[in-house]
């Protein structure tokens, strides 16, 4: 029979070795921090599926949790060796290959690492080897991270400005307080991830897909959402003290300005405390739930609304073409702030 006290202590020891809190571990497992606390106190045990995931995050094998002498916790690579490794790769890239011969690009496996306060600016050739890692306050400015696989990561307060993260897969990860200014996130897939208080100013999300992912309190100013698909997740701004968007200056924080909304689709998405502005064309909102959502100074062209209720939407100084207007009317939206466009007006860019 498994000894819950022994297993709990080993979970706690391995967690401390990679320098993450109970809350951070819980986020990567999509459970409560109270559940982790119960494991570590020996009050309960994770199920076998969770135990496998736990071993992956902590950098141990399943034998580590047995009552016999545990295998050594491999843990992450030490942060102090990063400068040497970066210097080695840069020297490899700078070296010229012999005539007629091709130099192999370096390939690192940075998975299951605990990366804190490291400067990886200009990083290349990483591709799919960065899963199950804890990253805090790291810099990746101007890096080529295209084709990256982030699976089960905790990424906190890192800077990815001006990086290429296109065609990547971000799965089951928790991203909070990160900077993605002017990043290319084209054709990237976000699935089952929590994304909080991140700065995506000027990011390119063309043909990107968000599935069962939640964006909360993020800055989406100037983003390109051409062909972006949102499925079964949420987009939430910041509510004021009274619970109403727009109080205490929150309207400006929640306003998505200078963004491109073209062929953007939202299906079964919870949208709360968000202000849409600008031109919204060939988009669709289907089976969505709206709470304190505002369209302000917006022009809606050929945009499809099919929802049980549109009463959670307020329109301020908006214009809509005939097709969009009819969709809104059918959803019993308050059209007080919507002006019907003429055919010629709707054709103007």
> Residue 245: its pLDDT value, please?
41
More confident residue, 102 or 170: 170
> Residue 128: its pLDDT value, please?
55
List domains and CATH numbers for the chain. 4-65 (1.10.260.40), 98-347 (2.160.20)
Question: Does residue 122 come out as left (phi exceeding 0), alpha (psi in the -120 to 50 range) or beta?
Answer: left
Distance CA 137, CA 164 (A): 19
> Residue 93: its pLDDT value, please?
45
> Residue 204: its pLDDT value, please?
97
| Residue pair 200/181 in contact by the 8 Å Cβ criterion | yes
pLDDT of 195 higher than 90: yes
Asked whether the whole model's pTM tops 0.85, one would answer: no
The tens digit of pLDDT for each residue in 60-75 reads 877 787 755 444 454 4
User: Counting beta carbons within 10 angstroms of the beta carbon of residue 117, is it exposed (0 to 12), middle (13 to 18) or buried (19 or more)?
Assistant: exposed
């Amino acid at each position: 029979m498994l000894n819950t006290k022994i297993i709990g202590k080993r979970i706690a020891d391995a967690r401390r070795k990679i320098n993450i809190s109970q809350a951070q571990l819980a986020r990567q497992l999509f459970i409560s921090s109270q559940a982790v606390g119960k494991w570590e106190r020996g009050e309960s045990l994770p199920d076998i599926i969770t135990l496998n995931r736990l071993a992956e995050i902590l950098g141990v094998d399943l034998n580590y949790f047995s009552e016999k002498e545990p295998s050594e916790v491999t843990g992450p690579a030490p942060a102090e060796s990063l400068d040497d490794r970066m210097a080695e790769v840069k020297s490899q890239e700078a070296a010229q290959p012999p005539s007629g011969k091709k130099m192999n690009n370096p390939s690192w496996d940075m998975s299951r690492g605990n990366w804190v306060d490291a400067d990886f600016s200009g990083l290349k050739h990483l591709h799919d080897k960065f899963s199950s890692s804890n990253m805090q306050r790291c810099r990746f400015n101007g890096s080529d991270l295209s084709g990256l696989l982030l699976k089960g990561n905790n990424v906190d307060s890192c800077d990815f400005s001006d990086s290429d993260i296109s065609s990547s897969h971000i799965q089951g990860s928790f991203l909070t307080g990160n900077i993605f200014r002017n990043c290319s996130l084209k054709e990237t897939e976000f699935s089952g991830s929590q994304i909080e208080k991140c700065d995506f100013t000027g990011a390119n999300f063309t043909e990107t897909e968000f599935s069962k992912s939640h964006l909360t309190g993020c800055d989406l100013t100037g983003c390109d959402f051409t062909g972006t698909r949102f499925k079964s997740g949420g987009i939430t701004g910041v509510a004021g003290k009274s619970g109403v968007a727009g109080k205490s200056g929150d309207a400006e924080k929640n306003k998505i300005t200078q963004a491109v909304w073209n062929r953007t689709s939202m299906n079964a998405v919870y949208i709360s405390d968000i202000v849409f502005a600008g031109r919204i064309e060939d988009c669709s909102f289907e089976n969505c739930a709206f709470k304190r959502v505002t369209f302000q100074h917006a022009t809606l062209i050929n945009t499809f609304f099919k929802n049980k209720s549109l009463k959670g939407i307020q329109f301020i100084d908006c214009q809509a073409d005939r097709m969009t207007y009819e969709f809104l009317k059918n959803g019993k939206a308050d059209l007080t702030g919507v002006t019907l466009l003429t055919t010629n007006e709707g054709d103007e860019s």
